[in-house]
Structure 1
Amino acid sequence: MKKIIFVTGTSTGFGKLITITLAEAGHQVIAGMRDIAGKNQKVASELGALPNVDVVEIDITSDESVKNAFEKTLETYGHIDVLVNNAGVSGFGLLEAYSIDQVKAMFEINFYGVLRTYQAVLPAMREAKSGLIINLTSGASGHTLPFMIPYLASKFGVESITEGLQDELKPFNIENVTIQPGVYPTEMNNGSKAGILADKPEIAAHYEPFASEKFNGLGKALFGKMEQFEMNPQTIADGVLKLVNMPAGTRPLRFPLDAAAEGTDQEFIDARATLKAKWLEKYNF
């Protein structure tokens, strides 16, 4: 059954692949991206030329831009069946070496951007008493790593949104799922897409040489696993399509897609769910 699907962050990486994969499967995709008349004009034209793809301007850091993009989509198609929150930015550095402004910039995209799209799409989904929202978070879905604290904190926030809304939106038959990717060779990880980095080198200097040694070791481990397991970004696009095509009411809350984790991500998710169920029982929820 053909669905109307809004995807954010479609100019590169997962978002572009998700758009192409869903459109080729016969779904109508609204491909949201920034600056479609400027720096992203080429990719906007490329995607817009595909069958079943409609490119829409959206800046998820702007209340007005998000409001306009969803209003335009609803005026054109009447409803939105699925929202895929893919847009995001990475960032590395010591937490103490991040200015508050840099952390705020990270959250404006990764956290508040998701809140904005939820608030824009939920009225229509509630009225329809149907909907699916898929949020891309992180392979480290329930723990954190050094040198990535602001990034992972923003993604953990989205995990919290998704988990809490699963209960709040249940009366309206709106499902929420997080996808936890591992490390994939996309623009976010190969250096071609700028991240939001720590910006206080004078503070970072106090951590040397420990920080550089630790950071380089972490990077070697992560990128080594990416090569060892031949991580293919198409896996994420195929995962989104699989979730879209699942019957309503059967989708999992969390959907890890990290072969390099060798099943430990799913074990962590299952263990956390079991402990939460026990906690809820103790509080008689």
Structure 2
Amino acid sequence: MKKTILITGTSTGFGKLTAITLSKAGHTVIAAMRGTTGKNEAVAKELSTLPNIDVIELDVTSDDSVNQAIQQTLAKYGHIDVLVNNAGVSGFGITEGYSIDQVKSMFDVNFYGVLRTYKAVLPAMRAAKNGLIINLTTGASGFALPFMVPYMASKFAVETIAEGIQSELKPYGIENVTIPSGVYPTEMVNGTKAGLNADLGDIVATYGENATEPFNQMGSALFGKMAEYKMNPQTIADGILALVEMEKGTRPLRFPLDAVAQGTDREFIQARADIKAKWAKNYGFKL
């Protein structure tokens, strides 16, 4: 069955590729992005020329923008079957080197942006007793790396939404899934899309080689493995398509797509689920 799917952050990277992939599969795609008449006007026009794609203005940091985009979509199509929360921003640097305002900006996109779309789309999904929400997160979504703490914290917070809300939404036939993606050569990673990096240069400078050496080693390892395993962003778009077309009730809570992890992400996710089940049993309730 062909679905109506709204994707955030479709101007670049996974979002744009996913919009094209889902439209080619025959689904109706609402390609949401900010700046459709400004900085992203060219890509908005490009996507608009493709079959099954309807471009819409949406800024995930604005309550009004999110609500207006969702209501506009519902008015035109009558329902939203799938929401893909792809919009996000990366960031690197010493944790102490981040100002509180910079961290707030990170969370406004990566966490509050997701919460805004959930709140905007859930009333219609609950009324229809049907829906799927897919969230792009990071890594195995359960452990953190140095020099990426605010970014990973914002993504782990999205994991918390998805894990906790799953039981709340079950009576309404709504599923949600996270995709811990790993490292891929997109604009977010290669530097062509500006990130929210540590902004307190004087503090960063005091760390000197204690930060620069391990940061460079980690970066070399990540980028080296990305090249070694020929990480292709199309894998994420294809994974989202697979989730969309899975039979309802069979979708996993977490759907990792990281070849470099060599299965350790799936092991971690399963172990975490097993321990949580034991914990809930010990407390005397079922999740």
TM-score band by shorter chain is: over 0.9
Say which SS state the counterpart of residue 256 (structure 2) adopts: strand
C-alpha distance in structure 2 between counterparts of 1:256 and 1:12, whole Å: 21
Give the superposition deviation at 1:205. Answer: 1.6
Say which SS state the counterpart of residue 50 (structure 2) adopts: coil
Give the superposition deviation at 1:85. Answer: 0.1
C-alpha distance in structure 2 between counterparts of 1:176 and 1:36, whole Å: 28
Query: 1:136: which partner in 2?
Result: 136
Say which SS state the counterpart of residue 175 (structure 1) adopts: strand
Query: 1:115: which partner in 2?
Result: 115
Residue-by-residue CA offset, 1:247-272 (whole Å, 9 max, x unaligned):
00000000000000000000000000
C-alpha distance in structure 1 between counterparts of 2:169 and 2:36, whole Å: 33
Give the superposition deviation at 1:68. Answer: 0.4
Give the superposition deviation at 1:204. Answer: 1.1
C-alpha distance in structure 2 between counterparts of 1:48 and 1:165, whole Å: 34
C-alpha distance in structure 2 between counterparts of 1:59 and 1:106, whole Å: 14
C-alpha distance in structure 2 between counterparts of 1:190 and 1:154, whole Å: 20
Contact 2:140 2:256 in 1 (8 A): no
Give the superposition deviation at 1:140. Answer: 3.8
Query: 1:163: which partner in 2?
Result: 163
TM normalised by structure 1 equals 0.99
TM normalised by structure 2 equals 0.99
Query: 2:150: which partner in 1?
Result: 150
Contact 2:137 2:158 in 1 (8 A): yes
C-alpha distance in structure 2 between counterparts of 1:29 and 1:131, whole Å: 15
Structure 1: runs of 5 or more not aligned = none
Query: 2:15: which partner in 1?
Result: 15
C-alpha distance in structure 2 between counterparts of 1:129 and 1:140, whole Å: 30
C-alpha distance in structure 1 between counterparts of 2:32 and 2:281, whole Å: 42
Residue-by-residue CA offset, 1:67-101 (whole Å, 9 max, x unaligned):
10000000000000000000000000111010000
C-alpha distance in structure 2 between counterparts of 1:193 and 1:202, whole Å: 24
Say which SS state the counterpart of residue 188 (structure 2) adopts: coil
* Letter aligned with residue 137 of structure 1: T
Give the superposition deviation at 1:206. Answer: 1.7
The residue correspondences of 1:1-285 to structure 2 (distance < 5 A) are 1-285=1-285
Cα RMSD after superposing both structures: 0.5
* Letter aligned with residue 79 of structure 1: H
Aligned length: 285
C-alpha distance in structure 2 between counterparts of 1:132 and 1:185, whole Å: 27
C-alpha distance in structure 2 between counterparts of 1:152 and 1:139, whole Å: 9
C-alpha distance in structure 1 between counterparts of 2:202 and 2:38, whole Å: 36
Say which SS state the counterpart of residue 127 (structure 1) adopts: helix
Say which SS state the counterpart of residue 248 (structure 1) adopts: coil
* Letter aligned with residue 178 of structure 2: T
Give the superposition deviation at 1:139. Answer: 1.4
Query: Runs (4+) of structure 1 moved beyond 4 Å?
Result: none
C-alpha distance in structure 1 between counterparts of 2:50 and 2:132, whole Å: 24
C-alpha distance in structure 1 between counterparts of 2:150 and 2:190, whole Å: 19
* Letter aligned with residue 7 of structure 1: I
Contact 2:7 2:29 in 1 (8 A): yes
Say which SS state the counterpart of residue 79 (structure 1) adopts: coil
C-alpha distance in structure 2 between counterparts of 1:35 and 1:209, whole Å: 40
Contact 1:185 1:226 in 2 (8 A): yes
Residue-by-residue CA offset, 1:140-181 (whole Å, 9 max, x unaligned):
411000000000000000000000010000000100100011
Residue-by-residue CA offset, 1:226-262 (whole Å, 9 max, x unaligned):
0000000000000000000000000000000000000
C-alpha distance in structure 2 between counterparts of 1:54 and 1:68, whole Å: 15
Say which SS state the counterpart of residue 92 (structure 1) adopts: coil
Contact 2:140 2:269 in 1 (8 A): no
Contact 1:140 1:152 in 2 (8 A): no
Residue-by-residue CA offset, 1:44-66 (whole Å, 9 max, x unaligned):
00101111000000000000000
C-alpha distance in structure 2 between counterparts of 1:18 and 1:199, whole Å: 32
Say which SS state the counterpart of residue 68 (structure 1) adopts: helix
C-alpha distance in structure 2 between counterparts of 1:14 and 1:204, whole Å: 31
Q: Percent identity?
A: 69
